[in-house]
Amino acid sequence: MASDIGALSAAAAAAAIADGGLSRGDLFEHYRARAGADQLNAFSWVAEAEPSAVDGPLGGVPLAVKDLFCTEGIPSGAGSKILAGYCPPYTATAVAKLEAAGAPLLGKTNQDEFAMGSSNENSAYGPVLNPWDHGRVPGGSSGGSAAAVAAGLAPWALGTDTGGSIRQPAALCGVVGLKPTYGAVSRYGMIAFASSLDSAGPLTRDVTDAALFYRHLVGRDRADATSVAFPEQIGLPTSERLDGLKLAVPTALVEGEGIEPGVRSSFEAALETARSLGATVISCEIPSAPYALSAYYVIAPAEASSNLSRFDGVRYGLRVEEDNLDAMYTETRHDGFGAEVKRRILIGTYALSSGYYDAYYGRAQRVRTVVAQDLASVFKQADLIVTPTSPTVAFGLGERTTDPLSMYLSDLFTIPMSLAGTPAISIPSGLSEGLPVGLQICGPAFSENRILSAAHALEQAIGFDGSVTWGSA
């Protein structure tokens, strides 16, 4: 069994431990050694030994956690110099729930600074490399989590998604990534980027693992006023058919410019697979979709400018000593924040400034409302919406760093669902030029079970093999 540990899915590993065919210690040590030998810069911290055993339904399967989550006594830096060495006095609810369910903390994963980015090149600690091609990005901002799972450095990982930061790296690394319904998972202890958009969810090797992980993540938390009780238990999907399911394709969105031919071909092949499984595929319109990207890049920076004002060198994190308070604030934030974070703080502060609030932030929020209404209208005609996850496969390191707009367009397909707060999953749909392509499946609020069931059926039929990267340390 020891030689086959890396080939086991998380669910299979948990079952093997329960049956006595695999020890928790052997499983943890396998992944601890793999994470410790990481050549992708996917981890920012790795446990030196297995934490105290906790029995639970997750069976001792080790957990990688994005460094945006607070973990008591363990460095939690959000990919930023301004929080270098910061060890929180408490653990985020999402992490605590997974640990209580039996998943020991393996390590913290690298990310774009404060989750601001689509390539994982904005980390203060260097870029994460894509395990399929080390000269390419893994996507962001949860790039470390996605790369760790794709390369077999961790069996599964916790990430965050504000505008696509779980789904897009899942697509570029060839793994599964689920963004929940907003409020389904507690944000307590998750270092805030944009509070009305931030969500926490799983990055896993397959859909069954995503469902198992997510089952123990959801639920009301008294520490997070925006969290809600999930209306039903998350089931483990078994469906291999899509009979009776109606899938909607937003024609104008997926036929627009900027989609690589290989991505389009993979998407069209996935639609044919869905039809062969019994689904009906229809066209739909989301008239507000072309404006979603612009609205997002007003709302998210505006909320970030407010949230990040707490990092001032006074209470915790980096402090640059100066002769007066204003100079200390200025120099601390100058040295502590990276270029992309500064860019978004400036944009957000301007959008919220006197005389411009209604013209920018207020108008963007009205667009957000229309996006949500348009999606709701589609869900009256169809069960789910399907799109490519990313318009391109993984792009080269440094290729878009000087062109922020080109970088922001990476989130073209993921942002509408973030603005509406609806759930979506990305699963691998095939390869283009030897690199993974992602398929996004979206549903109305709290339709995760339906999404997971459809994703499982498509996953089984597509038969994507990501094992070629499991040796990529």
165 is catalytic: yes
The CB-side HSE value for 469 (13 A sphere, CA atoms) comes to: 31
Contact 176, 146 (CB under 8 A): no
Q: Is 66 a catalytic site residue?
A: yes
For 354-437, where are the alpha helices, taking DSSP H only? 363-381, 404-408, 415-420
Q: Phi, psi (5° rounding) for residue 270?
A: -65, -35
Distance separating alpha carbons of residues 23 and 14, to the nearest angstrom: 10
| 51-57 CB contacts, 8 Å cutoff, 24+ apart | 51/99, 51/104, 51/105, 53/24, 53/104, 54/99, 54/100, 54/102, 54/104, 55/102, 56/100, 56/101, 56/102, 56/103, 57/14, 57/101, 57/102, 57/216
Spot the catalytic one: 119, 165, 447, 453: 165
The answer to whether residue 467 is catalytic is: no
Task: Give the HSE-up count for residue 97: Cα atoms under 13 Å, Cβ half-sphere.
Answer: 22
Here the tokens at position 172 are: 């570029």
Q: Which of 8, 205, 214 is nearest to 98 (CA)?
A: 214
Sign of the dihedral defined by the CA atoms of residues 383, 186, 9, 76, in that order: positive
**CA 406 to CA 390: how far, in whole Å?**
13
> Residue 66 — φ and ψ, nearest 5°?
-55, 140
Q: Tell me the Ramachandran region of residue 16: left when phi exceeds 0, alpha when psi lies from -120 to 50, beta otherwise.
A: alpha
| Active-site entry in 80, 119, 123, 141 | 141
In whole angstroms, give the CA distance from residue 442 to residue 424. Answer: 4
Q: SS3 string of 306-325?
A: HHHHHCCCCCCCCCCCCCCH
Choosing from 44, 66, 80, 453, which is the catalytic residue? Answer: 66
**Residue 317 zone, left/alpha/beta (φ > 0; ψ -120 to 50; rest):** left
Question: Which amino acid makes up residue 226?
Answer: T
User: Which residues does the annotation mark as catalytic?
Assistant: 66, 141, 165
